[in-house]
Structure 1
Amino acid sequence: MPEIPDLNIFSSNLSRRLVGKTLASIHIPISRQLKVSENVIQEALEGQPLTAINRIGKELHFLFGNGHVLSIHLMLHGTMYWYENENTSRFTIAELLFADGTGLAVTDWQKAVILTLDPKPNGVPDAMDLPAGYLKTALAKLSKPIKTVLTDGKTVQGIGNAYVDEILYAAKISPFSKANKIPEAHIEVLTQAIKNVLTDAENHIRGNFPDTITEKERDFLQVHRPKQTLTLKGEVILKAELDKRKTYYTESQQLFE
Structure 2
Amino acid sequence: MPELPEVEALAHHLREHAVGRTVTRVDVASLAVLKTVRPAHTELVGREVAGTARWGKHLDLVCGDLHLVVHLARAGWLRWSDALAAAPPKPGRSPVALRVRLSADDDQGATGGGPGFDLTEAGTKKGLAAWVVASPSEIPSVARLGPDALDLDAAGLARLLEGSTARLKTVLTDQTVLAGVGNAYSDEILHTARLSPYATAGRLSEESVERLADALHEVLTSAVRRSVGQKAARLKGEKRSGLRVHGRTGLPCPVCGDTVREVSFAERAMQYCPTCQTGGRPLADRRLSRLVK
TM-score by length of 1: 0.90
Unaligned runs of at least 5 residues, structure 2: 105-113, 138-142, 280-292
The one of 230, 236, 240 aligned to 1:210: 230
1:170-224 deviation line (CA, Å, top 9, x unaligned): 0011001111111122111101110101111222344xx7223553221331111
Q: 1:128 aligned to 2:132?
A: no
Q: How does 1:40-51 map to 2 (within 5 A)?
A: 40-43=40-43, 45-51=44-50
Alignment-derived partner of residue 116 in structure 1: 131
CA contact (8 A) 1:146 1:176 kept: yes
CA contact (8 A) 1:9 1:213 kept: no
Aligned residue identity for 2:132: L
SS in 2 for 1:177: coil
The one of 259, 269, 274 aligned to 1:236: 259
Alignment-derived partner of residue 222 in structure 1: 244
Unaligned runs of at least 5 residues, structure 1: none
Q: How does 1:63-212 map to 2 (within 5 A)?
A: 63-65=62-64, 67-83=65-81, 84-86=83-85, 90-100=94-104, 101-110=114-123, 111-118=126-133, 119-120=136-137, 121-122=143-144, 124-130=146-152, 133-206=155-228, 210-212=230-232
Q: d(CA) in 2 for partners of 1:152 and 1:12?
A: 25
SS in 2 for 1:240: strand
Which of these two proteins has the greater Rg computed from alpha carbons? 2
CA contact (8 A) 1:58 1:157 kept: yes
What is the CA distance between 1:240 and its match in structure 2? 0.3
CA contact (8 A) 1:2 1:215 kept: no
Aligned residue identity for 1:6: E
Aligned residue identity for 2:269: K
Alignment-derived partner of residue 12 in structure 1: 12
Q: d(CA) in 1 for partners of 2:264 and 2:215?
A: 22
Q: d(CA) in 2 for partners of 1:227 and 1:175?
A: 16
Q: d(CA) in 2 for partners of 1:194 and 1:105?
A: 31
TM-score by length of 2: 0.79
SS in 2 for 1:53: strand
Q: d(CA) in 1 for partners of 2:42 and 2:221?
A: 36
CA contact (8 A) 1:27 1:95 kept: yes
Q: d(CA) in 1 for partners of 2:22 and 2:6?
A: 25
Q: Identity over aligned residues, as a percent?
A: 29
Aligned length: 253
Q: d(CA) in 2 for partners of 1:196 and 1:107?
A: 30
Deviates more, 1:147-156 or 1:87-96: 87-96
CA contact (8 A) 1:14 1:213 kept: no
Q: d(CA) in 2 for partners of 1:145 and 1:224?
A: 18
| RMSD value, Cα | 2.3
